[in-house]
Structure 1
């Protein structure tokens, strides 16, 4: 089973060993301006988005992510609408309208026993459902069985449900990278973002991403150029996670990643959780989520980031820039 982080690694968007930073060439340079400059910073500034994935998946993830957003250095996150604990995080979002939360558009249910189903009427999206009646566990099964019309119906239903619950999403991204796995899925993903006025997360192309996209039948370079011309914003550098098994090994890995960030806008993808019986029953990799929770709610991490001169931003900054550019 392949989480978003694993899919992004396979897509060349990061390497989960040592310093896992993909240096992505920037498309964000109208009139010679870098993305950092468009956001009001200096060209040489290092800007960092610390993004928590999987909010709404379970209570332990919600508790940890909220603490990361309110007491730690986490700047934003994205919510899984089909999951059982979505109502809890949606209620928190309503009560905290300044929170920078997007939607983690979901087409997979990857865990062994803890599963979820589509938001859409199940008889209308049969290609999204496995033999057990849940969403497919892996990306390949969605790619092989789902129709683009079903994907659009489900993603639209997730966006509508979030809006009905009072959320005001700042962005959308894709759980396990599934929306990037077929050209027609990707077209739906970008089009729905534009239709609803919600910024889609887009990585700027590097050779590895272009090669992986080509294998999936996506000619990403001209697509990226066209989207840039339309005002879409691309993340300069994407980090898919640290390495190590112990807390201190992972802390050292993340600090090394942060220390070596290049200029421009970088995003680190995080998965936070408290340590309790719920998350231990869901995944055998619970300790990595717990480690990330401890690291990114630690005051020493904030001090370290400040000592490196790195400026923390969220997707709200990018969304505001996108809206300005698309109004031109």
Structure 2
């Protein structure tokens, strides 16, 4: 997609699709309401197979939210490949980027990301883009799969990686719960012409979110409060009203040429 002269296009990107049922169904609720325009699936996550089936049934455009880390104690996802350097003692992914940088083998990481992309393809999904989950462990690895698959990468990557061609990137999830909607509306009002992405992590408010980690964890706010707050802001009718009043078109991020996809 390219914005016509003077046009403002808003891409509402939902991350973590397939992480668990509450997240999958929250993202679908936003898509059905016409505010989430695309999502990214975590292929190794427990609800990913169901999530991809639903996306295909409902024409939800998907990218790959590439997983090399699992930050939760109560929800675990495991590598698709035999990759010892990517695994915590229980066999699931390591908890974060710092642990990956200390232990992970880039070759094993590359093999794992390729396996995740192949699994999405084999499930029938035509991927539009990719990005890393919880942060970039190795930009060269991301660049390699971006180039191989011809997929724009939301994270900064060196050549031959393909940059996602958006004019701005804004994160709803980091805004305070009490001002999320107001901050989003102010952001929209200030947008110049171009293609602008808002990244969110919506989820339905279900008890399973409180089982992801414990209240003393630094990740606790990411388990429920941020996700439920993101969905509430996206579903508020004032968002659609603002887009109409400001003549902002809800759309997709630009796609790139297709790569080898081997």
Task: Give the TM bin, normalised by the shorter chain.
Answer: 0.7 to 0.9
**Partner of 2:101 in structure 1?**
143
Where in structure 2 are there 5+ consecutive unaligned residues?
214-219
Using a 3 Å threshold, how does the CA distance of structure 1 residues 231 and 160 change in structure 2: closer, same or farther? closer
Distance across 2 between alignment mates of 1:240 and 1:39: 21
Q: Which residue of 2 aligns with 1:154?
A: 112
Choose 294-303 or 80-89, whichever is displaced more: 294-303
Structure with higher RCO (Cα < 8 A, 6+ apart):
1
Tell me which residue corresponds to 1:131: 89
What number of residue pairs does the alignment pair up?
249
The SS at the match of 2:39 is: strand
Partner of 1:275: 205
CA contact (8 A) 2:177 2:229 kept: no
CA offsets, 1:153-211, max 9 Å, x none? 10011011111111111111111122xx4xxx3222222222223332255xxxxxxxx
Does the aligned pair in 2 maintain the 1:47–1:265 contact within 8 Å?
yes
Aligned residue among 66, 70, 73 for 1:112: 73
Query: Which structure 1 residue ranges, 4+ long, deviate > 4 Å from structure 2?
Result: 230-233
Checking the alignment, whether the CA contact within 8 Å between 2:74 and 2:212 is kept in structure 1 is: yes
Q: What's the C-alpha RMSD, in Å, of the aligned pairs?
A: 2.1
Sort the Cα spacing of 1:85 and 1:306 in 2 relative to 1 into closer, same or farther, 3 A.
same
Describe the SS at the equivalent of 2:10. strand
1:188 aligned residue (137, 141, 148): 141
1:196-252 CA distances to partner (integer Å, 9 max, x unpaired)? 23332255xxxxxxxxxxxxxxxx7xx4xx55xx97543221112252233xx2211
- Any idea what SS the aligned residue of 2:250 has? strand
Query: 2:230 maps to what in 1?
Result: 292
Per-residue deviation at 1:136?
Answer: 1.1
2:56 pairs with 1:103: no
TM-score (norm 1): 0.70
**Equivalent residues of 2:16, 2:201 under 8 A apart:** yes
